[in-house]
């Protein structure tokens, strides 16, 4: 596009275009992810975010918001860290790019060493990618290959949980447990099977009544049942988030992962902890596998590793899985041009330094109970059915009837979540997520730098908007 108009540039943004021009260009050319393009066609336009500082972001009209979702579970150390920008610039000048295809560069080596030191047990080998979905794809391929190298080529199926999200490439999509995200792309990679998730609030609807601990055992045993149904000699791996995001923050019931580990050992099934969200402090440790005391065979991670200042992902693999690749002519024919990118690796190292210097993991561990207690105050509202989560990662499930836990029908969900809630929260100055991939939930995952004063601010905004939502039903 060419323009003769002299643009009025946006305050805080380096864009040379005005708000109006950007909206027009977005409407003409930008395809948003996971979104209805019609919001652009209908004239409402798209919120354009131009600046971030700490736990705040600003839009192109100059309005300030609380970033209650760390972008997308990403900006764990907060926005506007000049130090990370400077590290990126220095590295781009020194060596902007080199692949790790048969070569290496210092940052990828240092970062691999650092991640191995943080990962539990013997997870010592790091395969880099550029994001979470690629890390999951890598783990899926590696699980299949590993079993072939063990002389057990029929072990190729993968198990995951209902409503879980693990990425969008066709392999990762086969692991994702959300039918509405898959049906238009079927057939996806074959071999994906689903077991119940750990939504204790709705355990009754899964046919279970009992304590949370008993529920954990019940849910874990569904994995053994699925392995038996499919045949242990056909199952390669199970993919589980320590706290499942999609559906609205399902932490593991006590004893769940202990039983899952036993089942995986019993049937020779690899346990992959998908820590794309839960890694890097979100649950108060480098990895949530440590928080919940279980030993995975692989960890997939991304997002918070750089706090989003540059993209990267990784699959961290145990010595046992790596062993066959140590010798002779065996190679893993898999990789990504930008995997372990020098700039991203340098930024990750500096970001992890910040975590250590500012004790961000400790901050989460100390303040998480206060965050939970603050959000639980919302339970006095008729629309709030459940508050759940861990660390700095909580979901608030909305219901039509608290006593019966009745949820909203499709029409109501559409009106409430899409028609009102997301926009009302944003208008009230809180960027977070109103999600209905399972039951309707508001999800919070703020930067790990905040504390009790900010929890109160979040609660105040939610209280106002959720009270109004109830009157609109
Ligand atoms: C648990 C989990 N796995 C995988 C992914 C995919 O990551 P990416 O969007 O970086 O490909 C996500 C993204 O949110 C995720 O939450």
Atom of ligand 1 nearest to the CA of 277: 16
| CA 73 – ligand 1 centroid, Å | 10
Q: pLDDT-derived band of residue 413, with 50, 70 and 90 as boundaries?
A: confident
pLDDT digits (tens, 9 = 90+) for 11-33: 778 889 999 999 999 999 999 99
Mean pLDDT of the chain: 95
**Which of the two residues, 418 and 327, has the higher pLDDT score?**
327
pLDDT 10s digits, 128-155 = 999 999 999 999 999 999 999 999 999 9
- Give distance in angstroms: CA of 242 to centre of ligand 1: 13
Going by C-beta distance under 8 Å and a sequence separation of 6 or more, which residues neighbour residue 244? 161, 163, 164, 197, 198, 250
**Bigger pLDDT: 342 vs 43:** 342
Residue minimizing CA distance to atom 7 of ligand 1: 132
Distances (CA, A) of 220 to 165, 196, 216, 340: 19, 9, 6, 35
246 lines ligand 1 (CB under 6 A): no
- Which residue is associated with the tokens 């999600």? 435
* Integer angstrom CA distances of residue 402 from 56, 380, 385, 406, 441: 33, 10, 5, 7, 14
> What would the mean pLDDT of 94-111 be, rounded to a whole number?
98
CA torsion 314→318→321→325, rounded to 10°? 70
Pocket test for ligand 1, best of 276, 282, 437 (most atoms within 8 A of CB): 276
Cite the DSSP H helix spans in 212-322: 212-230, 256-267, 288-291, 319-322
Distance 336 CA to ligand 1 centre (A): 17
Question: What distance in angstroms lies between residue 133's CA and the mean position of ligand 1's atoms?
Answer: 5
> How confident is residue 8, by pLDDT bands cut at 50, 70 and 90?
low
Whether 276 shows a pLDDT value over 70: the answer reads yes
pLDDT at 14: 85
pLDDT reported for residue 421: 93
* Distance from C-alpha of 55 to C-alpha of 164, rounded to nearest angstrom: 27
Closest CA to 147 of 372, 321, 400: 321
Q: Is the CB of 167 under 6 A from ligand 1?
A: yes
- The answer to whether the CB of 302 is under 6 A from ligand 1 is yes
Can you give the pLDDT at residue 5?
Answer: 46
**With the C-alpha atoms ordered 466, 470, 471, 472, is the resulting torsion angle positive or negative?**
positive
For the whole prediction, is pTM greater than 0.95?
yes
Per-residue pLDDT band for 411 (boundaries 50, 70, 90) equals: confident
Mean pLDDT of the region 371-390: 98
Closest atom of ligand 1 to 246 CA is 16
For the cut 60, the answer to whether the pLDDT of residue 3 exceeds it is no
Nearest CA to ligand 1 atom 2: 166
Strands 433-435 and 384-390: unpaired
What residues contact 329, with CB distance under 8 A and at least 6 apart? none
Q: What is the mean pLDDT of residues 236-249?
A: 97
How close is the Cα of 26 to the center of ligand 1, in Å? 25
pLDDT band at 121 (very low <50, low <70, confident <90, very high): very high
Residue 6: its pLDDT value, please?
47
Mean local confidence (pLDDT), 226-240: 98
CA-311 nearest atom, ligand 1: 10
Min mean pLDDT across 7-11, 40-44, 98-102, 426-430 is at: 7-11
Contact 437 CB / ligand 1 (< 6 Å): no
Please, what are the domains in the chain? 47-77+360-471 (3.90.1150.10), 83-357 (3.40.640.10)
Centre of ligand 1 from the C-alpha of residue 337, in Å:
19
Ligand 1 closest atom vs CA 275: 1
Per-residue pLDDT reduced to its tens digit, 338-364: 999 999 999 999 999 999 999 999 999
């Amino acid at each position: 596009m060419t323009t003769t108009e002299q643009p009025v540039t946006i305050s805080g943004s380096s864009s040379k275009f005005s708000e109006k021009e950007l909206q027009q260009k977005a409407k003409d050319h930008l395809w948003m992810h996971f979104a209805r393009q019609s919001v652009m066609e209908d004239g409402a336009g798209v919120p354009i975010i131009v600046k971030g500082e700490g736990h705040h972001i600003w839009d192109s009209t100059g309005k300030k918001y609380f970033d209650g979702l760390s972008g997308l579970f990403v900006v764990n150390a907060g926005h506007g860290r000049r130090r990370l920008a400077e590290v990126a610039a220095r590295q781009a000048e020194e060596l902007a790019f080199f692949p790790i295809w048969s070569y290496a560069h210092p940052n990828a080596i240092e970062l691999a060493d650092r991640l191995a030191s943080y990962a539990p047990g013997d997870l010592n080998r790091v395969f880099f990618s550029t994001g979470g979905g690629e890390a999951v794809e890598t783990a899926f391929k590696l699980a299949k290959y590993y079993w072939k190298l063990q002389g057990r080529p029929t072990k190729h199926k993968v198990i995951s949980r209902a409503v879980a999200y693990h990425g969008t490439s066709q392999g990762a999509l086969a692991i994702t447990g959300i039918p509405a995200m898959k049906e238009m792309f079927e057939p996806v990679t074959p071999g994906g099977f689903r077991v119940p998730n750990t939504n204790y609030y709705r355990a009754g609807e899964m046919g279970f009544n009992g304590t949370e601990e008993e529920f954990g055992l019940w849910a874990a045993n569904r994995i053994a049942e699925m392995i038996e149904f499919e045949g242990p000699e056909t199952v390669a791996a199970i993919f589980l988030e320590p706290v499942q995001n999609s559906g609205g923050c399902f932490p593991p019931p006590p004893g769940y992962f202990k039983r899952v580990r036993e089942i995986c050992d019993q049937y020779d099934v690899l346990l992959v902890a998908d820590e794309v969200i839960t890694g890097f402090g979100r649950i108060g440790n480098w990895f949530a596998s440590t928080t919940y005391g279980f030993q995975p065979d692989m960890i997939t991670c991304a997002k918070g590793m750089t706090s989003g200042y540059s993209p990267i992902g990784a699959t961290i693999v145990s010595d046992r899985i790596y062993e066959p690749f140590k010798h002779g002519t065996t190679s893993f024919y898999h990789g990504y041009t930008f995997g372990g990118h020098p700039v991203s690796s340098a930024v990750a190292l500096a970001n992890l330094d910040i975590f250590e210097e500012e004790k961000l993991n400790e901050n989460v561990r100390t303040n998480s109970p206060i965050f939970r207690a603050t959000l639980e105050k919302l339970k006095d509202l008729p629309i709030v059915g459940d508050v759940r989560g861990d660390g700095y990662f909580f979901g608030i499930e909305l219901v039509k009837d608290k006593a019966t836990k009745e949820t909203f029908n499709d029409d109501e969900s559409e009106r409430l979540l899409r028609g009102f809630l997301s926009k009302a929260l944003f208008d009230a100055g809180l960027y977070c997520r109103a999600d209905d991939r399972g039951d309707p939930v508001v999800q919070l995952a703020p930067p790990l730098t905040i504390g009790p004063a900010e929890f109160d601010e979040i609660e105040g905004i939610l209280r106002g908007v959720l009270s109004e939502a109830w009157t609109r039903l």
